[in-house]
Structure 1
Amino acid sequence: MQHIIDRFVSYVTVDTESDPNSETTPSTAKQWDLANQLVEELKTIGMEDVTIDENAYIMATLPSNVDHDVPVIGFVAHFDTTPDFTGANVKPQIVKNYDGGDIVLNAEQNIVLSPSYFKDMLQYKGQTLITTDGTTLLGADDKAGITEIVSAMEYLIQHPEIKHGKIRVGFTPDEEIGRGAHKFDVAKFGAEWAYTMDGSQIGELEYENFNAAGVKVTFKGKSVHPGYAKGKMINSMLLANQFIAALPENEVPERTSGYEGFYHVVGITGSIEESTVQLIIRDHDKAKFEARKENVARIAEEMNASYLKQFGEPIVIADIKDQYYNMKEKVVPVFHIVDIAEQAMKDLGIAPLIKPIRGGTDGCQLSYMGLPCPNIFAGGHNFHGKYEYVPAESMQKATDVIVKIAELTAIKYNG
């Protein structure tokens, strides 16, 4: 297991934060640092057909070692980290034989990872936890997934007695800003199906996810000297506040769970003359998803109607763009790919936790691009912030699941 820990640390200490405001792929030049490192490592462990394209998409092959036909399967993970919290100068802390108590991440700043708040920690008592130092995220999303895929391929290469078909691996940039699959060459990848190693706690197996849209709402105002503003000034920041107040107050991430969708305000900028609100819309149900988008458009239209006489043109402009859709529609017709993953977990003594993703993965988009792609746990918790951690044992188990899926697929198609 130390080998897995060392590999993981070598990845998370490379800053790969993506940038939603960039037009390039990858969105940040620093993502190339880890991408190039991964290419060399895949070659070193013995993978074949290792390629990286002009957009930093990495692919590699583990050839079949059986003489019967087996569908080509794939494993996918992303190497960027979210721009929600800094991923620069990550200093992982290794907590061996976790005792079930508080973990001081940063004594100077009094930052504590506590099971009194993060109750999931208690299920890992006695294990080795890898945490942050309280000043950055960790990057287990999704460098744990990359660690597991590389480690599983290395294990299969070193243990040819384990029979498997052809396996393809793919590592992508910019997943955290919704563009990880945009330039993924599904035909080149050449797999019949794949799995993203991008879930959270041990046992997670997911084939349903949110339908997702991003919204940018622009508010126009009129700046007038405040001493003479009556009936003349329009403060765009107050319009933005009015718009947010019109959204359903209980349909937000912190008040929803399971299959419940939400509106989530993720950013606000403003002045009297112009303000913008960035939000995301999420729902598993397609009809409810469409209704949420229509609700945003309706609020904008009603605000425009109330200011039309005074302003003379639309004062609220809502730009709504779909991001990805629920992969369930594409996975259910080939549900045996979920069955194989579930059986792999059971064979390894892992209780499968089959539940909807309250988010998305590259697999959501890949499924609609012709590559059905359920999601499997990578092991981490509290992604996108300073309280992120991952049990080393969970990464080992995820590695074992990849190996077992490869083995079971070869067995299933033997005769």
Structure 2
Amino acid sequence: MEKLLPRFLEYVTIDTQSDPYSKTTPSTEKQWDLAKKLVLELHQIGMQEVSIDENAYIMATLPSNTDKKVPIIGFISHFDTSPDFTAKNVKPQVVKNYDGKDIMLNKGKNIVLSPDYFEDLHQYKGQTLITTDGTTLLGADDKAGIAEIITAMEYLVQHPEIKHGEIRIAFTPDEEIGRGAHKFDVKKFGAAWAYTMDGSQMGELEFENFNAASAKIQIEGKSVHPGYAKNKMVNAIGIANEFLGLLPSREVPECTTDREGFFHVHRIKGEIEKAEIELIIRDHDEGHFEARKQLLQDITEKLQKKYGDYITLRIEDQYRNMHEKIVPVFHIVEIAQEAMESVGVEPIVKPIRGGTDGSQLSFMGLPCPNIFAGGHNFHGKYEYIPLESMQKAVEVIVKICELTAVQIK
């Protein structure tokens, strides 16, 4: 466990931000910097069959140390970080014995991490927190998961008295832009099931996630001198604004929770002759999800009737709710629950308000619930993670390996 913190701190200082507009895999060349380091480290801790392919997907094996026939299981995390906020020159700060008060992240810029706003901080009084310096994200999503998996594997190598079956691990690029599983070789991985270590606070255990799609609305306009524009000008900006006004105003991320779905407009640009809207659609319920996509189609057709064929809509499905693939093999969730309870962690079973590699992998034949990595406030300057939560994640991984060897017949 003593290597867990320095391992994590080293990982987060390596910029691995992904790029949704890139067509390559990985989407950014800099992701290779950490990927190559991880391959060397896996060799160093004694993992076998360590490989990295042309797309930077890393896999490795911890061989079974029991004569009992045990299913091969896996653990997966991603090494890219979100494009939502800068990840260049990450300078993590370690706050020991947190006193429960405001944390000054950056005195010069007066950036404060406060429990008055982020109430979860209250539960970590007395613990060691790793924070940003207020100018970048931290990257605990999901470099914490990688550090935890490697530390757990190292522990099992050093403690052969803990009996386990064959364990497979994988680290992937581009999860943050929805492509983490796109080139994942499930057959090569060879596990009966796996767990992504990509959740938030300690105890989270998730086997439901959003159904997800992206949408792009393109609007063509006609620019005419405004003094002579009557019945001639077609203002693409105005039509874009009208389109947005027809979306349900309260069905947005900042107004929804639990299993409530939403539309999220994340990019808009325009001028009179051309405007473009990009948004994402999310809903746990498949029927509601399809209805959301139909609403976009209905709005498009309504505005086409009003303005003509100046508007086009393109919708692309991204991933689906893994629930239907997990329920038939629910014992894999029960093993994770028991592992948490046996190391003193209370399971928090809830739906993911997002997606993980596991949601796509489950539909590719690899059932893959999601387990906490321990962090909070991902994708921004207020991101932090308690060291104690990371330590518990390591213990959970080790216990899952042990329980699988004991329980599965």
TM over 0.5: yes
Please name the residue that 1:86 is paired with: 86
d(CA) in 1 for partners of 2:2, 2:122 = 22
d(CA) in 1 for partners of 2:89, 2:81 = 13
2:173 is equivalent to residue 178 of structure 1:
no
Q: Give the alignment of 1:7-406 within 5 angstroms.
A: 7-308=7-308, 314-406=309-401
Deviation at 1:321, TM superposition (A): 0.4
d(CA) in 2 for partners of 1:260, 1:63 = 43
d(CA) in 2 for partners of 1:151, 1:264 = 37
Unpaired segments ≥5 residues, structure 1: 309-313
d(CA) in 1 for partners of 2:121, 2:236 = 44
d(CA) in 1 for partners of 2:44, 2:371 = 26
Deviation at 1:127, TM superposition (A): 0.3
Unpaired segments ≥5 residues, structure 2: none
Q: CA RMSD in A?
A: 0.7
- The one-letter amino acid paired with 1:111 is I
Deviation at 1:246, TM superposition (A): 0.6
Deviations 1:101-154 (A, max 9, x none): 000111111110000000001111100000000000000000000000000000
d(CA) in 1 for partners of 2:105, 2:2 = 21
Deviation at 1:316, TM superposition (A): 1.4
d(CA) in 2 for partners of 1:170, 1:257 = 31
- The one-letter amino acid paired with 1:208 is E
Deviations 1:183-231 (A, max 9, x none): 0000000000000000000000000000000001111111111222122
Deviations 1:23-73 (A, max 9, x none): 000000000000000000000000000000000000000000000100000
d(CA) in 1 for partners of 2:16, 2:229 = 48
d(CA) in 1 for partners of 2:241, 2:40 = 51
**3-state SS of 2:68 partner:** coil
d(CA) in 1 for partners of 2:381, 2:3 = 24
d(CA) in 2 for partners of 1:306, 1:206 = 45
Please name the residue that 1:311 is paired with: none
**3-state SS of 2:3 partner:** helix
Runs of 4+ in 1 over 6 A off after TM superposition: none
d(CA) in 2 for partners of 1:241, 1:58 = 45
Identity %: 69
- The one-letter amino acid paired with 2:282 is R
d(CA) in 2 for partners of 1:399, 1:169 = 14
d(CA) in 1 for partners of 2:3, 2:337 = 26
- The one-letter amino acid paired with 1:52 is I
d(CA) in 2 for partners of 1:193, 1:229 = 63
d(CA) in 2 for partners of 1:38, 1:72 = 22
d(CA) in 2 for partners of 1:237, 1:196 = 42
d(CA) in 2 for partners of 1:131, 1:209 = 27
d(CA) in 2 for partners of 1:31, 1:71 = 32
Distance 1:305 1:47, change over 3 A: same
d(CA) in 2 for partners of 1:289, 1:74 = 30
Deviation at 1:410, TM superposition (A): 0.2
d(CA) in 1 for partners of 2:27, 2:271 = 28
Deviations 1:171-191 (A, max 9, x none): 000000000000000000000
Question: TM-score, normalised to structure 1's length?
Answer: 0.98
Deviation at 1:2, TM superposition (A): 4.3
**3-state SS of 1:266 partner:** strand
Question: TM-score, normalised to structure 2's length?
Answer: 0.99
- The one-letter amino acid paired with 2:189 is F
Aligned residues: 409
